[in-house]
Structure 1
């Protein structure tokens, strides 16, 4: 048996092809062999963001009017327009763009500025964190989330990702005891999105039911002045440029459900919204002195329906 040399074995098992010598090109950089970097989606301009949000609200208003008139054809046409804008997802994306640092940042930065003096001495241990309910949450990375002072439950009608429960606040089961209530609730650009005025009033009334009793903080003087609280953010025109609502009426409505505004800050170039912080107190009915009309204070059997005060935001 003939012996096969090691070289013969290599030659027999290799699949060599005669090829013309290649011209050497410039040496490639090391990065050329790496997978492509994930590119961030293009941001929407400030003007386009504002236009999309305003258009969305206008279409929602027209849709409600079409439904009230029983005009199914017009309702379907408007719904098509809403979908063409991206629907609720497009609206949320525009809202997220507005929370970018170069657009003024998220509104919870204002809340943290207000609360920092009292929560800074409270500690951030897990058993001492304050309970927060964020309604209409779009992100898990806002200022409150990063502060470490809160145990946060986040809910939204159309969840944008992990850490946000898809839930309608108006259908959330009422708390059975103090352990299921919250030290603070955030309604940032939520109330103005509720279609019907009476439902806006019901949302505020419901919010008060989810807040812990003021007596809970008697043994914590550093928290007593600020909790339990509602953090409310509205587009500034809802208060400054509305036929139905001004700051005086808003304050009266908040008082009527036991949430008188404690701190208010108007919108500006860096914060295009009006913000208010309310501390829970026993309910009063002062807003009834402002006068009554079907859209303002619905009545039942001659008695004002205090369970659902209407808030006709623009």
Structure 2
């Protein structure tokens, strides 16, 4: 039985991705310490969510105490920002711009004769931590809207993507949406599927763009970055299943890159999301005690 693609109020992400708190001065943390702290914090957050789901208030309180002993959210912020250089692979938008630049630069070099055909490019960056990343400095985007659960400063709107109002018309839609290390913070598989489904509503339809030879042929697209083990070492998700899920909501993979820590994708929206979406339940694909439980479900 298919899933009706109805407009409804999705679950908030606040229970998933830990918020980041402003600080006067950020301390330097070693790469090894950064990785250990982030991994420990994520493990505790996962256990806390399980306790909440089970109604275990005592267990939740014990885990809260462990998180506090680690330094709480303040210490997590320091590790997260350090991790932008180390454990999170640096500025992931550099990879995106490496993929987009050949298309965008060819349009720029075409000169004024094609200026009337130029599309004003708009980007929505979900989970933004900086206004000085590669996309921001590229000069190719007329508008970049940046949102995060807890804004890091001016230029980043404090907003939950799952609660963001849906676009009223094309002026509020985007050419590209970035989900860099955001989907993995959603606490439940169903919520991850809902997030991917929701991105389709913020992108223009493919008909807006010129033919395949145009510099803008890489749009509309979703830039997705995940920790590599979410795809390479999960019991419930592999590359084939991810492609099937994305295809079912109108996306086609146009670029990908896998490193030791991260997987990067560009998913081009090639059709409107169907009213009835094929269900994808949580199903074991690769058994093994050493694998993780990351999953994405629809329906």
Q: 1:60 to 1:263 in 2, by over 3 A?
A: same
| From 68, 75, 97, the counterpart of 2:82 | 97
Residue aligning to 1:275? 264
Q: Is the 8 A contact 1:249 1:287 kept in 2?
A: no
Equivalent of residue 32 in structure 2, options 15, 29, 47? 47
| 1:62 and 2:47 matched | yes
SS at match of 1:154: strand
Paired position in structure 1 for 2:178: 186
Matches within 5 A, 1:1-314: 41-100=26-85, 104-123=89-108, 129-150=120-141, 151-218=143-210, 221-268=213-260, 272-282=261-271, 283=273, 293=281, 295=282, 311=296
* Matching residue of 1:7: none
Distance 1:128-1:214 versus aligned 2 partners, 3 A rule: closer
Deviation for aligned residue 1:103: 7.9
Q: How far off its partner does 1:52 sit?
A: 1.4
CA contact (8 A) 1:111 1:231 kept: yes
Shift of 1:218: 2.0
SS in 1 for 2:214: helix
Q: Deviations over 1:72-123 (max 9, x none)?
A: 0111221232233344454343232122389853111100000000111344
- Alpha-carbon contact 1:252-1:287 (below 8 Å) kept: no
- Specify every segment of 5 or more residues in structure 1 that has no aligned partner in the other structure, as ranges: 1-38, 297-309
Question: What SS does the corresponding residue of 1:83 show, helix, strand or coil?
Answer: helix
Q: Over residues 263-296 of structure 1, what are the superposed CA-to-partner deviations in whole Å (9 max), with x where a residue is unaligned?
A: 110023xxx21010000022478975xxx64x36
Instruction: Show structure 2 runs of 5+ residues with no match.
Output: 1-23, 110-114, 284-294
| Counterpart secondary structure, 2:256 | strand
TM-score (norm 1): 0.73
* Alpha-carbon distance between aligned partners in 2 of 1:108 and 1:57, rounded to the nearest angstrom: 23
Contact 1:98 1:106 in 2 (8 A): no
User: Partners in 1 of 2:74 and 2:144 — Cα distance?
Assistant: 23
Per the normalisation by structure 2, the TM-score is: 0.77
CA distance change for structure 1 residues 262 and 87 in 2, over 3 Å: closer, same or farther? farther
Distance (whole Å) between structure 2 residues aligned to residue 128 and residue 211 of structure 1: 14
Asked if the contact 2:211–2:217 (Cα under 8 Å) also holds between the matched residues in 1, the reply is no
Report which structure shows greater RCO (CA 8 Å, sep ≥6): 2
Shift of 1:202: 0.4
The total of aligned residue pairs comes to: 253
